[in-house]
Every structure is written in structure tokens, then in C-alpha cells.
Amino acid sequence: MIAYAPWADARLSRKPGVLPLDPGDWIEAGDDREAQMAYRAALIEAQRDVVHAALPESAGACAELLEALCAHLGVAVPTGEPPLIAAGRLVQEDFCLLEQATSGEEYRLTGAILCFPSRWSLAEKIGHPLTHIHGPVPDYTGDLAARVNRLFEGIRAGRPLWRANWTIHSTAELHQPSGEWRESEDADADLHIRVERQTFLRLPRSNAVVFGIRTYVDPLTALMPEQAVALREALEPLGPDEIDYRGGADLHRASLDALV
Ligand code: HEM
């Protein structure tokens, strides 16, 4: 049983595929909580500069996020550590903060606790606007970028949103902090489906948007037969650029073969 199969749900698979979220469901724990929390603590210890970044102008939003998270969980606000580090120790979600310097300008990534990046580097993206962040993504067209920017403008406090994405990886590794992974993808390895449950929440004081990422990784063999069939149907129409972006022709072929 897997938690989400966004490729098999038309509301989620069309882009941007954003739905309203009950504020009570902002944070999602699971059976994988103990293992993920231990891994997060180890990464925060050993790789702090890889998993954490906070530009000076994000200080207000960082503090407000930690307050909102603690209020949501019903726990006291921890002190003594940078707020995003403290947030990263509380829940399985990673958090990116997106802010506008001036109204009307594109949202930029100003801070993050990102223990489980899916093949991207926080250091490369920090400070950049959303369209630039999505530069390598073939299906993030100009039209989608404009829709995402409008969607960000429209996020209201108390009315969060969510979406989900999926990718196939040849490893269950959660921490993949580099864009330079494609050559090393091993199509003979154990194939896994990686799903991100992504949430969008407005912080009213700083006006920042919190982008939450809750990562689920399961072997392809955990899919129900109808989920496997739908995944195959989602992979089949991908064009060469998307196949390349998602790991290359060998991984694509191996995935299709594994889904019969
Ligand atoms: C509705 C909003 C969004 C949409 C529709 C969207 C869409 C996408 C898509 C289609 C991909 C390619 C991988 C995939 O198919 O899942 C992607 C990758 C990515 N997204 Fe988003 N995204 C959104 C919001 C965000 C936000 C708020 C961030 C903030 C950090 C973000 C950061 C990234 C990064 C870093 C990648 C990997 C880029 C790379 O390969 O270098 N996305 N996104």
C-alpha cells in the first residue's frame, strides 16, 4: 500500500494540479516517521550547510513558520537553534520559504530546511525566483510558470493548498542533494516510486508562502496492479526531453518493463 498515487488521479496529474487542503491536515506523519526523523537529525548534524539555508531577509518568515508549526502541533516553541533547524527536527516535512521583495515581483526562495531534496541542490537555488528554479524542468513551460505565479499571489492565510508529484528513482535514498545525478542512474537497481505531497501555506505576518514537502518512497513492487497500470500509462506518452530529465532512456525502459 502506498500513501499517494498522483499519476492515477486526474485532479492531481494535470498541471498545476493544486487542490484545497484542510488546515488540520498540513502535517502528515506515517509509519516511516521514526526512520525519517532519525535520518533528519543525522543530516542536520553532519550536513547542516547542505540541508539548511536562510537569507537575512527571511528571518521574520523563519520565526513565523516555527511558531505556526508549534501551534499546529500543540508544542512549545523551541529556542536556541535557528528556527528552520528546529522545524526540521519536529516533523517529516521539509520546508521552503518563498517571498516577494516587492508586490508583483516573482516569488523567490529565501530559506529552507531541505533534508530530502529530490535531485536538486539548495545552494544552487537559494535566492532565485520560481521560474529560474524550474529552469531544467522541460514541462515547466512559460504558461505553467505564469499560472504558478498567479496561484502564489492567490494563496490566502487559513486556506492552504496541496499538490503531489512523482518520479521513479533507482534508489530509496531520501537525501539526493545534487542536480548532477542523471549519469549515475542505474536502471538495473531496485526501482522506487518517489512521491512528494507538497503543501502551500500563507504566513500572514511576513506574507511568505511556506512550501512543505513530505516525501514518500516505496518500491515499485508495492504498487497495486491498477496503480502500476496507470503509472505505465503515465510514462508511455513522455517525450525525449521529459525522459531525459526524469533519468534517461535506460531508466525509462526499465520502469516500463517493471510495470507489466
Ligand atoms: C504549483 C506549484 C509548482 C508546480 C506546478 C511545480 C512543478 C514542477 C515540475 C513539473 C517539476 C519537475 C519534476 C516533476 O515532474 O515533478 C518540478 C521540479 C522542481 N520544483 Fe517545482 N513546482 C511547483 C512549486 C515549486 C516550489 C514552490 C518550489 C520551491 C522551491 C519548487 C522547486 C522545484 C525544484 C527545485 C525542482 C527540481 C528542479 C531541477 O531539476 O533542478 N517547485 N516542479
Q: Where are the domains of the chain?
A: 6-178+195-219
How far is residue 122's CA from residue 217's CA, in Å, rounded to a whole number?
20
pTM value is 0.96
How far is residue 194's CA from residue 165's CA, in Å, rounded to a whole number?
8
Closest Cα to atom 19 of ligand 1: 134
**Which of 98, 165, 195, 197 is the best mutation target for the ligand 1 pocket, counting ligand atoms within 8 Å of the beta carbon and taking the most?**
165
**3-class SS string, the chain:** CCCCCHHHCHHHHCCCCCEECCHHHCCCCCCCHHHHHHHHHHHHHHCHHHHEEECHHHHHHHHHHHHHHHHHHCCCCCCCCCHHHHHHHHCCCEEEEEECCCCCCCCEEEEEECCCCECCCHHHHCCCEHHHHCCCCCCCCHHHHHHHHHHHHCCECCECEEEEEEEEECCCCCCECCCCCHHHCCCCCCCEEEEEEEEEEECCCCCCEEEEEEEEEEEHHHCCHHHHHHHHHHHCCCCHHHHHHCCCHHHHHHHHHHCC
Closest Cα to atom 16 of ligand 1: 165
The amino acid present at 12, given as its one-letter code, is: L
pLDDT the model gives residue 188: 66
Which distant-in-sequence residues (6+ apart) come within 8 Å of 5 by Cβ? 166, 195, 223, 227, 230, 231
Per-residue cell: 92? 517529516
pLDDT at residue 185 tops 70:
no
Chain centroid, CA 56 distance in Å: 23
pLDDT band at 103 (very low <50, low <70, confident <90, very high): confident
**Which of 95, 125, 126, 137 is the best mutation target for the ligand 1 pocket, counting ligand atoms within 8 Å of the beta carbon and taking the most?**
137
Ligand 1 pocket residue status of 179, Cβ below 6 Å:
yes
Question: What strand order describes the sheet that includes 52-54?
Answer: 19-20, 161-169, 192-202, 209-219, 94-99, 108-113, 52-54
Ligand 1 pocket residue status of 98, Cβ below 6 Å:
yes
User: Residues 172, 193: contact at Cβ < 8 Å?
Assistant: no
How far is residue 106's CA from residue 93's CA, in Å, rounded to a whole number?
24
**Which of 116, 120, 133, 149 is the best mutation target for the ligand 1 pocket, counting ligand atoms within 8 Å of the beta carbon and taking the most?**
133
Q: What percent of the chain has pLDDT over 70?
A: 97
Closest Cα to atom 20 of ligand 1: 134
**pLDDT (tens digit, 9 = 90+) per residue, 85-99?**
999 999 999 999 999
**Which of 134, 143, 161 is the best mutation target for the ligand 1 pocket, counting ligand atoms within 8 Å of the beta carbon and taking the most?**
134
Between 186 and 13, the more confident residue is 13
Atom of ligand 1 nearest to the CA of 125: 35
CA of 192 to the centre of ligand 1 (A): 19
CA of 226 to the centre of ligand 1 (A): 26
pLDDT at residue 223 tops 90:
yes
Residue whose entry in the numeric block shows the C-alpha cell 543525522? 42
Atom of ligand 1 nearest to the CA of 18: 1
